[in-house]
Structure 1
Amino acid sequence: MKKLIAIDLDGTLLSSNIDISAENIQAIQTAQQAGHIVMICSGRAPEDIKTVIDKTPLQCPVAGSNGTMVIADGKLLSQISINKDIVKNVAEVLNQKEYPFKIYSNKGIFVASTWSERMISFLDKNQEVLNHLTSKEYKLMTEQPKESDSIKIFDELGAVLAIEDLTIQKFFIPTISGKEELISSLEKFEGISITTSGPFNIEIMDTNGHKGNGIRVMAEYFNIPIENTVAIGDNFNDVPMLETAGLSIAMGNGDPAVKEMADVVTLTNNENGVAHAINKYILEAK
């Protein structure tokens, strides 16, 4: 029976060294050779997912930016964007509180020219985060991103919103101190959903923009009944796809609440948990 297998990246397919193990690659390829469709469903932008996957021999359709952009066979199957007036309102709150943030769009990821100074200030206020960082990680997090094909630097949001045909799928905001206060400030805006992909961030999408949408669109495209879908993830932004899929699999390193709601729990991301799940629950399942 043909299945659609949706796999998260960070904390799931990727180890803590941010790489995909040979065991995971082999399991995915074996599943594909058996006729199953394997998709990547990540909070990362589609371009970022492609960069990661291109380092391996894998080829997979993707649902990027938390399922708000779904791409298969070189075609954009679905795109769910945040209303631009809401984008302005959210950005105004973030600027008032001087939070660093990134904007994920169909034209790349937009990062403010103030990213570096805001990130340094954020880390200074959040010793809990700072204490867990190596010097290399601190440098990577606080460096001002450089303009590239996928990264765009901006000074004023108005100039970004004026770009022709621009659509915005997601805000990414590093946060811990004041997190609940920030969420409370943002929840007054209708039409958005707020989630997290880790303890030190929040992510904002349109209400209909989530990984559950990503797996549904892909299942419909490949003509696979939703009950024949499998989702593998570790954190709260994975919950919509875990709730949607016929079989939900949480990673051993996943958040306890996510593991509690999943059908089954596999090994951790450093123990080839994805390969273990594919082999046990799909390839070897009766």
Structure 2
Amino acid sequence: MTAKYRLLALDMDGTLLNDEQKITPLTVEWIKKAMEAGVHVCLSTGRSSRSAMPYAEQLGLNTPMIMVNGSEVWRAPHELYRRSLMDVELVKEMHKIAEEFDIWFWAYSVDEVYNRDSWDGEIDSREWLKFGYSTEDNDIRHKLLMRLQELGGLEITNSSPFNLEINPLGVNKASGILEVCKLLGINMSQVVAVGDSLNDLAAIQQSGFGVAMGNAQETVKQEADAVVASNNEDGIAEVIQKYILTEAGTSAGRISKQA
């Protein structure tokens, strides 16, 4: 089989992983086929490297990886290439806002993930990568968004309809994929990016071919070139089978955007 594209950038939660946090055997099988055909398979996740690494090892990946929504790019597993840190003053402001609204929050430092239950108030001495909030109250989430936009200097996305994830401005999965392309000597036009949430949107828009999972948020589906089965129905296997590997090796044109 010949590959139409050179890089497959995969979100993890809600995309590569099913709802039981597992990669199904069929998905593993097709990822191996893609790798055998010369496709670079790259994890592109909001997770920390510590949390993502076991899955990279399960798949036998030795490619660059995008972690913490692009705040880290790894040249290979266990080999850091670039890290973008958050302004400590912004972290303090975001923590104040979390306290004010009395909602669940978490923050990724270089070494650890902290949340409302484990927060010790020590901000200045740590290096921060990402901050997040979670609430099912739509009104509070909207007010939060307004406050965050007023702060400035922030890249605001989500990894579920009920949360907000914040990285330094300009840092996202698309910027991470662009760096990975440079490391591999390929172009964004040769990338297939797959995801389900707003933190995948920039990657889906800017890659050569953007795919939304069947369980993706509506905005993501609207911006994608194709929509496949859900994360519980081997959507990634479908991506590889339909859009990446071809018997003939002829390059297919971009599928028109979903209505």
**TM-score higher than 0.5 here?**
yes
CA contact under 8 A between 2:11 and 2:194: conserved in structure 1?
yes
Q: 2 CA distance for matches of 1:58 and 1:274?
A: 17
Q: What is the alpha-carbon distance in structure 1 between the residues aligned to residue 106 and residue 55 of structure 2?
A: 19
Q: Which residues of 2 match residues 184-263 of structure 1 at below 5 A?
A: 184-263=146-225
Match of 1:175 in 2: 135
| Number of equivalences | 241
Distance apart, 1:61 and its partner CA: 3.2
1:50 aligns with 53
Counterpart CA distance in 1 for 2:120 and 2:112 is 16
Residues 105, 132 of structure 2: 8 Å contact kept: yes
CA–CA distance in structure 2, aligned partners of residues 57 and 229 of structure 1: 19
Q: Which amino acid aligns with 1:4?
A: L
Contact in 1 for aligned 2:5/2:192 (Cα 8 Å) = no
1:75 counterpart letter in structure 2: E
TM-score of the aligned structures, taking structure 2 as reference length: 0.88
Task: Report percent identity of matched pairs.
Answer: 29
1:13-162 to 2 correspondences below 5 Å:
13-54=16-57, 56-59=58-61, 60-73=63-76, 74-112=78-116, 115=117, 153-156=118-121, 159-162=122-125
TM-score by length of 1: 0.80
- In structure 1, the partner of 2:255 is none
Q: Classify the secondary structure of the residue corresponding to 1:13.
A: coil
Q: Which amino acid aligns with 2:94?
A: V
Offset at 1:53? 3.7
Question: 1:2 offset after TM fit, Å?
Answer: 5.8
Query: Kindly tell me: are residues 57 and 245 of structure 1, through their superposed partners in 2, closer, same or farther at Cα, counting changes over 3 Å?
Result: closer
Structure 2 unaligned segments of length 5 or more: list them.
Answer: 251-259
Secondary structure class of the residue paired with 1:180: helix
- 1:194 is paired with a residue of what secondary structure? strand
| Matches of 1:214 and 1:110, distance apart in 2 | 24
**In the alignment, residue 160 of structure 1 is paired with which amino acid?**
I
Task: Give the SS at the match of 1:19.
Answer: coil
Any stretches of 5+ residues in structure 1 without a counterpart? 116-152
